[in-house]
Amino acid sequence: SYIAPFAMADPSKEKMRLAVLTSGGDSAGMNAVVRAVVKAAILKGCETWIVREGYEGLVRGNAEGHRHVSDKGICVSHKDVHFHEETFLHHLRYGDGELLRDGTGDHPGGRTLKGRYIVRVGWDDVRGWFAEGGTLIGTARSVAFRTREGRLTAAQNMIKEGIDALVVCGGDGSLTGADVFRSEWPKLVTELQSTGRITEEEAQKHAHLKIVGLVGSIDNDMSMTDLTIGAPTALHRICESIDNINSTAYSHSRAFVLEVMGRHCGWLALMASVSSGADFIFIPENPPDAEKWEDSMCKMIQSHRDVGKRKTIVIVAEGAVDSNLKPIRAEYVKDVLTNRLGLDSRVTTLGHTQRGGKPCAFDRIMPTLQGVEAVNALLEATPDTPSYMIGIRENKITRVPLMEAVEMTRQVSVAIAEKNFPKAMSLRDPEFSESLEGFFATSILESEPKLPHHLRMRVAIMHVGAPAGGMNAATRAAVRYCIRQGHKPFAVHNGFLGLLEDNVHQLSWLGVDNWMTRGGSELGTNRKLPDIDLGAVAAKFQQHNFHALLLIGGFEAFSALQILDVGRKYYPAFNIPLVHLPATISNNVPLTEFSLGSDTSLNALVDACDAIKQSASASRNRVFVVETQGGKCGYIATMGALAVGACMVYTPERGMNLDMLRNDVKFLKRRYGLDAKGKSEGRLVIRYSILRLVFSGYNRNSSTYVRNEIASEVYTTDVITKMFKEEEGRCLTLVLHLWAHTARWHSLSDGPCASGAPLAEVHELHRAPPRAVDQAVLPNSASASRIGGRHYDPRIDSEMGARAGDGGACGHEEPKREAFVVG
């Protein structure tokens, strides 16, 4: 956003002419792809086109007389920035696409997209596309492109427009089409030349096609990438729907059977089940036994009802089958629940609501990063390099050979068709089976715990630091997992202070049932560390006979763990498994890429900024300075800036100085100077009045800065505000919008978002190997302070150590285990 409008292409180099299209089923985030590709390509000195209606638009091309639109004045080139007389967005929103289909009417402004499918676009054409769901440039399933004749025409249309590189965003079908097109390209060019449809010069210039694919699919069904564009947003939609259903299900004590999308892939169903705490799940990769799934489902749901659960949620993937590949329909599941268990059951098919709505933060950030990488891949492509698919692996943007990924994806369907379900599961990401295991661990209520008596522990769970979305979901998962294994989970309320006040109680399987959706901290939390009185804390560990401690929190929890770890030298009561599960909106805990709550916080920021942008439409030339939380970490500010399309971001890591601010002010003045050029020609005024009436939310002349709360102690938000105000020249009216507590408020009041609580960390508790007690140094009991009438008693530790060393038979005598830290 920052540099690109002024980027200059190297004039000595031939410009790459690049087109981007969206194909197959639409998904949230496709607009962010188009935006990123267009902007990144302009930045790198390319010329950019969009192709409307997917491959169909490539086949239809531009009607005679509409070619080379950039030469006909639709695009006004201002250096490398192209401002349209009538913005492209404007055309689309006025429904020119519809006019085009039924062949009637024309746009009142006189310029329409009629007859034009391959349209030259510039920087500002894609401005503000982040917040739009679906795909603004249209998508289609093109029968014509499946034929060779269709692809021949598509090649001709591209060559006539001078396009030599293509970015395709779609599912596996679209990416297959891209690969077919590229491999056929040389022959298509030869044929076009031999039949006189293109000139020899054109044939030579376009001898090779460069193609790159991005995976836009809500199903997350593509192999060799961890996530597909649109899947996170679809999951958000499903979770929102389930949250709504939960309350009515609870009120009437009903059972709801929800059908979610996923013809060949159960990712949405699985993640929705984990995120929403469903009771039972049907996915194609792990089908239930055809002979007895009705029995096992009823048994499991009855066991939940027996402990007092009032609501039942069963999630069925669209493509769910049994082990004989017989489809499992939601309607049938409902009948089984009604007839066998006597439950008042309903079916809800979420359908296309899952595709709709504006993209979540991750579906803005990931497509942006992938779009930039796609342009890089095209610029580096040679006739010998394979066509790449841009994916994401372990949070890094990757390039993988497109056909390899498509082929691996196909193998999943083949494995399911051959009833080789273990293979189908193994072909999915490792995360898939881990999530399934996690779902079982938190939803199955065992009649008999898994572990023998002598391995069962009393596990303390404590929240430390500030609240963050996902803390309760993680606690729920830990509690359920503990109970399943045979451990006893204890809530320590209000952190270490609560422990010293004996604010401890045992948690039950049902008691945490609804915690998935609750924001904040159900246990209560504060920033106090155990060094307020380490001896007293150790005494409380003894008193409550804790054998393990799970700390959920941010940097304070991390520090608390370090203090306890050091304290082991003096207090063997701490020689138990100690685990930290990072949860903080700042995402500043070392050694982990994500902390719980940071995703929810980003989404809260995105919502707030979307609203701010809408308010910008009320008046022009506003600069918004948005202050985020994040302490000494610029994570929220940086990722937030990426997700909302801010023009600048100030973070503590980069710091701030006067030169930086001066340059930023200069930048803004130049930027608005470009806008004013159009305005002085009497164009923008009309558009603004129309846009403001019809599309509140789009305003070219508003900019957003995102600033971290302590980016600088000198250049505070207030100082920045005043500096910009001082620059009255180009109407830089500053509207200071302090956002400081929105994220925190959201994480307190809203439920966590879909990417709630990973279960892997919780599993670590169980993996601690038993170890003999380290009896090395015991502290002087006099140094232990007296809290609640109780001293730390070194004899208890010695005694326990002796018993553990003896291999005694008491259920709790093996609490001394190798200490380790997660996070």
Shortest Cβ 327–ligand ATP spacing (Å) = 18
Query: Which runs of E-coded beta strand occur in 95-164?
Result: 118-120
Q: How is residue 352 annotated by DSSP?
A: G
Task: Kindly state the smallest distance separating residue 257's Cβ from ligand ATP, in Å.
Answer: 24
Other beta carbons within 10 Å of 402: 26
CA-to-CA dists, residue 88 to 119, 156, 485, angstroms? 9, 24, 59
- List strands edge to edge, sheet with 312-317: 280-282, 312-317, 255-260, 345-349
Angle between helices 684-694 and 658-680 (to 10 degrees): 100
Angle between the N-to-C axes of helices 172-194 and 148-161, in degrees from 0 to 180, rounded to the nearest 10:
70
Smallest gap from residue 166 Cβ to ligand ATP (A): 13
Least separation in angstroms between CB 144 and ligand ATP: 8
User: Which of left, alpha, beta for 74 (phi over 0: left; psi -120 to 50: alpha)?
Assistant: alpha
Cβ-proximal residue to ligand ATP, closest one: 173
Question: Closer to ligand ATP at the Cβ: 89 or 412?
Answer: 412
620, 688 contact by CB (below 8 A): yes
Binding site for ligand ATP (CB under 6 A): 23-25, 55, 141-142, 145-146, 170-174, 176-177, 180, 217
| Closest CB 431 distance from ligand ATP, rounded Å | 20
- Distance of closest approach, residue 285 Cβ to ligand ATP, in angstroms: 17
Task: Give first-to-last CA distance, the chain, whole Å.
Answer: 34
Q: What is the 3-state secondary structure (H, E, C) of 588-605?
A: CCCCCCCCECHHHHHHHH
Q: For residue 122, give the 3-state DSSP assignment.
A: coil
Helical ranges in 645-778 per DSSP H: 658-680, 684-694, 717-726, 742-749, 760-767
Beta carbon of residue 132, minimum distance to ligand ATP (angstroms, whole number): 18
Strands 17-22 and 81-84, sheet pairing: unpaired
User: Which CB, 376 or 411, lies closer to ligand ATP?
Assistant: 411
Is the Cβ of residue 172 or residue 533 nearer to ligand ATP in the bound state? 172
Residue from 242, 261, 258 nearest 330 by CA:
258
Strands (E) located in 255-328: 255-260, 280-282, 312-317
Q: Which lies closer to ligand ATP via its Cβ, residue 173 or residue 449?
A: 173
Edge-first strand listing for the sheet containing 118-120: 118-120, 47-51, 17-22, 165-170, 210-215, 388-393, 396-401
Nearer to ligand ATP, 217 or 588 (CB): 217
∠ CA 397-438-358 to the nearest 5 degrees? 50
Residue found by looking up tokens 């027996």 in the block: 306
Return the amino acid letter for 361.
A
C-beta of 23: minimal distance to ligand ATP in Å? 5
- Name residue, tokens 């937030």: 640
The first and second tokens of residue 487, run together, are: 């451990």
Residue 390 tokens, joined: 């841009």
Q: Catalytic residues, which ones?
A: 219
Q: Are 201 and 241 in contact (CB under 8 A)?
A: no
Looking at the Cβ atoms of 432 and 570, the one nearer to ligand ATP is: 432
User: Is the dihedral angle over the CA atoms 440, 514, 640, 527 positive or is it negative?
Assistant: negative
Give residue 155's identity as a one-letter amino acid code. Answer: A
The dihedral formed by the CA atoms of 101, 105, 109 and 112, expressed in degrees to the nearest 10: 20
Q: How far is the CB of 408 from ligand ATP (least distance, A)?
A: 15
Contacts 24+ apart (CB under 8 A), 6-12: 6/79, 6/80, 6/667, 6/670, 7/42, 7/43, 7/44, 7/45, 7/80, 8/45, 8/79, 8/80, 9/44, 9/45, 9/46, 9/80, 10/45
Residue 453 CB, nearest distance to ligand ATP (Å)? 51
Q: How far is the CB of 162 from ligand ATP (least distance, A)?
A: 23
The Cα–Cα gap between 679 and 685 comes to: 6
| 319/333 Cα distance (integer angstroms) | 14
Q: Which residues pair with 165 in a beta bridge?
A: 18, 210
Q: Which of 470, 559, 479 is nearest to 517 (CA)?
A: 470
Taking the complex as a whole, the smallest distance from the CB of residue 350 to ligand ATP amounts, in Å, to: 16
**Which CB atom, from 176 or from 595, has the smaller least distance to ligand ATP?**
176
To the nearest whole angstrom, how small is the minimum distance from the Cβ of residue 371 to ligand ATP?
A: 18
Q: Which of 705, 703, 732 lies closest to 649 in space, CA to CA?
A: 705
User: Of the two residues 148 and 722, which places its CB atom closer to ligand ATP in the complex?
Assistant: 148
Alpha-carbon span 209 to 362, nearest angstrom? 31
| Among candidate residues 510, 506, 551, the one with its CA nearest the CA of residue 530 | 551
Nearer to ligand ATP, 150 or 631 (CB): 150
Strand positions, DSSP E, 503-621: 504-506, 548-553, 578-582
Q: Which is nearer to ligand ATP, 172 or 259 (CB)?
A: 172
